[in-house]
Amino acid sequence: MSTAVQVQASQPIGLLDEPQLSRLAQAIADLSSEQLLWASGYLAALSNPANVAQPIAQSRLTILYASQTGNARGVAERLADGAAERGLQARLVSVEDYRPRELLKEQLLYVVISTQGEGEPPESAFELFRYLNVGKAPDLSGLQYAIFGLGDSSYEFFCQAAKDLDERFAALGATAVAERVDADVDYDNAAQSWRTQVLQEAERQVPTADARVVPLQAVRTTPRHDRGHPYVAEVVENRRITTHDALSSVHHIALDIDASAVSYQPGDALGVYFNNAPALVERVIAAGGLTASHAVQVDDATMPIEDALYRHLELTQLHPSVIKAWAALAGGESLQRLCADGQGLRDYAASHQVIDLLTEHPAGIDAQQLVDALQALQPRLYSIASSQDLYPDEVHLTVAKLSYEIGGEPRLGGASGYLTERLSTGEALPVYVAQNTAFRLPDDPDVPVIMIGAGTGIAPFRAFLQQREANGVNGRQWLVFGNRHFHRDFLYQTDWLAHRKAGRLDRISLAFSRDSDDRPYVQRRLLDEGKEVYRWLDDGARIYVCGGLAMEKAVQASLAEIAQTHGGLGDDAAHAFVDELRVQGRYLKDVY
């Protein structure tokens, strides 16, 4: 999403007159934050005549981010903004645009990195980690660094990518200028504290820009819509797209947006803010022995606990930290034993909600104690299922309602329940775009594309093919889609048939696991058509995978088996073949 930039011509900056300010505003209107920072340094260098005929020296501070959902990027951008406000010469760069050998030239490096899957770095950082761990180890004794990790302590390998990077940097001789931060899902306060600390260190080491130069970041007056500043969209469509006898209720949701305020690309996700179910809020209040009007403090605001639980606090995703906080209030041997059992604690958190914790382990508490024990309500991310070039004023989502039982009682997912059961057309929904630059269509439309999706993992591929339609591009596209039943769960069937008829889909392979006894899944379908898959890969095809983590792992295993069967490779060489696809940016995944 491009950063909205506006220069107020009525308030000249420095020596610029109104026409000059107007031209400047036009020139930087669609620049991203990284581009703005680069342009700031470029113009600063040009202001010194000695630099005009010479290459611009590399900044002493590099801010590198490896992001999967956009959170790491947001932390890095705010760090870069802070550096610019202090006049520090810094560059902001995504790991996918960073050559690992540049580490040998870095002096001060700040890294913001998330963790995905089973402790893995984002896919965009695969090449960097391979460079640090495979082959001749680089000497990083001239590097000083700081690392901010983003993760979720509900998972066993919490912030593992940050931990691994920190350990490897230290082993290769680099020096940490600040202790690594392993930030949990509610990371804003930790990020602010870390930002203050590392910028103070940077001020001691990094040269400042010429005081006459106003950083381009400083002239941004139009607010950026991000996780902390969502855009309020209007719901224009919310309809179920699975049959009523299907096991899963999947909805297509269309939101009206202002294209001048919100922009996205196929492959991006949409962050959605939601409210908890009123009935669930009532149950939590009753379980705590409280009344809805009890006044509580949330951040700097005072409100009734009913409002705090409805709008501000997490109730459906139970976090280990909440269980530990509740154990301190409730006591009890069984709860204490649970908190001491790392895997057991994570398993309980993954399979229960806050209401279960309160009813199974009651405690005599006041309203503020309950609020303090809970976590802030977090937005949920959904892959965008539309192309803005085809729908300039809309953004589409594909949402499956999460429903299950605990102890015989029905439970709903927080966001999915809100979006599919309680959100009506005409209502407002706060959202923001989470860029996923590591999940983009090839720039060259002649590159063959294999799209593998299961269930709602089909969403980004609807956006991909709409983009090809908007661009008037046909070419070789292959869709591999899996779900339960052909007649109940074939999401967007008419869309795929229209693309096939128009020549935008060269092949469609389907895997409906409940329609036959052998339970075919997408990874099985790849093996069934392995010869053709390998031929496409030999022709330079790029593979995209969207869906659950287990499915994606199975897809990788199928590709390795295909490389053995149809490429004549041994086991090690076949897995190296898949790794090389990742290094080349030809295997891209969006998993959850």
Q: State the Cα–Cα distance between residues 394 and 255, nearest whole angstrom.
A: 5
**Contact, 438 vs 125, CB < 8 A?**
no
Q: State the Cα–Cα distance between residues 264 and 559, nearest whole angstrom.
A: 31
Is the pLDDT at 294 greater than 70? The verdict is: yes
Cβ density class 52-87: b for 16+ within 10 Å, e for less: eeeeeeebbbbbbbbbbbbbbbbbbbbbbbbbbebb
- pLDDT of amino acid 111: 98
Is the pLDDT at 17 greater than 80? The verdict is: no
Q: State the Cα–Cα distance between residues 528 and 515, nearest whole angstrom.
A: 17
- pLDDT of amino acid 36: 62
Domains contained in the chain, CATH given? 61-206 (3.40.50.360), 231-274+379-434 (2.40.30.10), 278-373 (1.20.990.10), 449-591 (3.40.50.80)
- pLDDT of amino acid 40: 62
Cβ density class 1-39: b for 16+ within 10 Å, e for less: bebbbebebeeeeeeeeeeebeebeeebeebbbbbbbbb
Q: How confident is the model at residue 29 (pLDDT cuts 50, 70, 90)?
A: low
**DSSP H or E run through 360:** helix 354-360
pLDDT digits (tens, 9 = 90+) for 519-531: 889 999 999 999 9
Strands 380-383 and 269-272: antiparallel
pLDDT digits (tens, 9 = 90+) for 248-291: 999 999 999 999 999 999 999 999 999 999 999 999 999 999 99
Q: State the Cα–Cα distance between residues 339 and 353, nearest whole angstrom.
A: 16
**DSSP H or E run through 272:** strand 269-272
Copy the structure tokens of residue 440.
Answer: 């983009």
pLDDT digits (tens, 9 = 90+) for 390-406: 999 999 999 999 999 88
- pLDDT of amino acid 227: 87
pLDDT digits (tens, 9 = 90+) for 560-572: 999 999 999 999 9
pLDDT digits (tens, 9 = 90+) for 434-481: 999 889 999 999 999 999 999 999 999 999 999 999 999 887 999 999
pLDDT digits (tens, 9 = 90+) for 227-253: 889 999 999 999 999 999 998 999 999
Is the pLDDT at 99 greater than 80? The verdict is: yes
Q: State the Cα–Cα distance between residues 528 and 288, nearest whole angstrom.
A: 55
- pLDDT of amino acid 116: 86
Q: State the Cα–Cα distance between residues 293 and 144, nearest whole angstrom.
A: 52
- pLDDT of amino acid 396: 98
Count helices and strands in the chain by DSSP H and E runs: 21, 21
Arithmetic mean of pLDDT, 413-419:
97
Q: How confident is the model at residue 53 (pLDDT cuts 50, 70, 90)?
A: very low
Q: State the Cα–Cα distance between residues 281 and 581, nearest whole angstrom.
A: 48
Looking at the chain, the whole-number percentage of residues with pLDDT higher than 90 is: 74
pLDDT digits (tens, 9 = 90+) for 140-189: 999 999 999 999 988 889 999 999 999 999 999 999 999 999 999 889 99
Strands 61-66 and 90-94: parallel
Q: How confident is the model at residue 6 (pLDDT cuts 50, 70, 90)?
A: very low
Phi, psi (rounded to 5 degrees) for 64: -110, 130
Q: State the Cα–Cα distance between residues 442 and 475, nearest whole angstrom.
A: 12
Copy the structure tokens of residue 517.
Answer: 């006894």
Copy the structure tokens of residue 376.
Answer: 């802030």
- pLDDT of amino acid 222: 46
Strands 449-454 and 269-272: unpaired
